[in-house]
């Protein structure tokens, strides 16, 4: 256990349970408490900090509500650190690699397939193409800290990305588009929908079939309005949190 319980709480400061919660949050963020690790028992925490078990219980309850820990009852039970969730912010146009790096996680990708295909109806409508027009479809498993996070399926107009299938596709596709083809997505429309994992999703993500996933459907556009990408990404629900930022409140 790498948790440092000193110094004692400040009884003249904010509510004691808030101080304890903040200390535990900081320990999780610093890696002193790792995903899956059991926290000290309530009795141990209360004795070390010189506070009541009820105060410790309040602090742990706050962490549970925030999704940072889970509490298990019965034999082998206790309070365990949850795996850190990746935050997806639809209001900010950034590739997943950039979002993961911003959150202190290692981004990775495993290419499942990359090939030219005729555009189906939905892809054609999204990309402003005629049905059957040539597109390039890249399917990848996205990794966060080396573990599967999402199945990503990106479709591009083939005329805009000649030779894409012959390039290295295990990094940021947005960076590749900008550096190789001079294409920069500046705007995107995303639609979010909860779905259940299909057989292929379950195998790729290492979860049981039917596990809740978050489908993020996205159309990304260049500055002149040209559609550059039609994507349908399925994120693991247990590893993803969607953050919506509101800047103005109407009546």
Does residue 4 fall inside a structural domain? no
pLDDT at res. 230: 97
Taking the C-alpha atoms of residue 102 and residue 51, their distance in angstroms, rounded to an integer, is 36
Q: In CATH, what number is assigned to the domain containing residue 182?
A: 3.40.1410.10
Does residue 44 fall inside a structural domain? yes
Contact 74, 61 (CB under 8 A): no
Give tens-digit pLDDT for 61-113.
888 877 778 888 777 778 888 766 666 665 555 667 677 777 666 788 899 99
- Residue 27 pLDDT level (bands cut at 50, 70, 90): confident
Give tens-digit pLDDT for 132-169.
999 999 999 988 888 898 999 999 999 999 999 999 99
Q: Which two tokens stand for residue 155?
A: 């479709």
* Least confident interval from 26-35, 37-46, 166-175: 26-35
Residue 205 has pLDDT above 60, yes or no: yes
Three-state DSSP state, 30? coil
Does residue 57 fall inside a structural domain? yes
Does residue 71 fall inside a structural domain? yes
Do 139 and 212 have their domain in common? yes
Do 21 and 70 have their domain in common? yes
pLDDT at res. 64: 84
Number of structural domains (the chain) is 2
Three-state DSSP state, 54? helix
Taking the C-alpha atoms of residue 132 and residue 117, their distance in angstroms, rounded to an integer, is 8
Residue 179 has pLDDT above 90, yes or no: yes
Contact 86, 103 (CB under 8 A): yes
Do 48 and 165 have their domain in common? no
Beta partners for 187?
A: 221
- Residue 25 pLDDT level (bands cut at 50, 70, 90): confident
Does residue 46 fall inside a structural domain? yes
* Least confident interval from 97-111, 197-211, 215-229: 97-111
Do 165 and 214 have their domain in common? yes
Do 102 and 223 have their domain in common? yes
Residue 12 has pLDDT above 80, yes or no: no
Between residues 5 and 28, the one the model is more confident about: 28
Do 138 and 237 have their domain in common? yes
Do 140 and 90 have their domain in common? yes
Do 196 and 100 have their domain in common? yes
Do 235 and 121 have their domain in common? yes
Domain that holds residue 185: 86-242
Do 100 and 218 have their domain in common? yes
Residue 195 has pLDDT above 90, yes or no: yes
Domain final position from 81, 97, 120 = 81
């Amino acid at each position: 256990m790498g948790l440092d319980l000193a110094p004692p709480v400040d009884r003249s400061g904010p509510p004691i349970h808030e101080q304890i919660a903040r200390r535990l949050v900081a320990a999780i963020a610093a890696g002193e408490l790792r995903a899956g690790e059991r926290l000290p028992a309530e009795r141990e925490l209360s004795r070390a900090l010189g506070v009541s078990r009820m105060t410790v219980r309040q602090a742990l309850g706050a962490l549970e509500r925030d999704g940072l820990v889970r509490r298990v009852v019965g034999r082998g039970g206790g309070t365990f650190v949850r795996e850190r969730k990746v935050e997806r912010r639809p209001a900010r146009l950034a590739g997943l690699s950039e979002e993961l790096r911003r959150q202190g996680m290692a981004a990775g990708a495993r290419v499942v397939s990359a090939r030219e295909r005729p555009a189906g109806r939905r892809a054609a409508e999204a990309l402003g193409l005629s049905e059957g027009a040539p597109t390039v479809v890249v399917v990848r498993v996205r990794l966060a800290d080396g573990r599967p996070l999402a199945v990503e399926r990106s479709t591009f107009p083939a005329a805009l990305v000649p030779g894409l299938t012959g390039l290295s596709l295990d990094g940021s596709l947005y960076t590749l588009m900008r550096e190789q083809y001079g294409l920069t997505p500046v705007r995107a429309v995303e639609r979010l929908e909860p779905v259940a994992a299909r057989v292929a999703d379950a195998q790729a993500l290492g979860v049981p079939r039917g596990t809740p996933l978050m489908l993020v459907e996205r159309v990304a556009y260049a500055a002149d309005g040209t559609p550059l990408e039609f994507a349908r990404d399925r994120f693991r629900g247990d590893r993803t949190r969607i953050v919506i930022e509101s800047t103005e409140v109407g009546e």
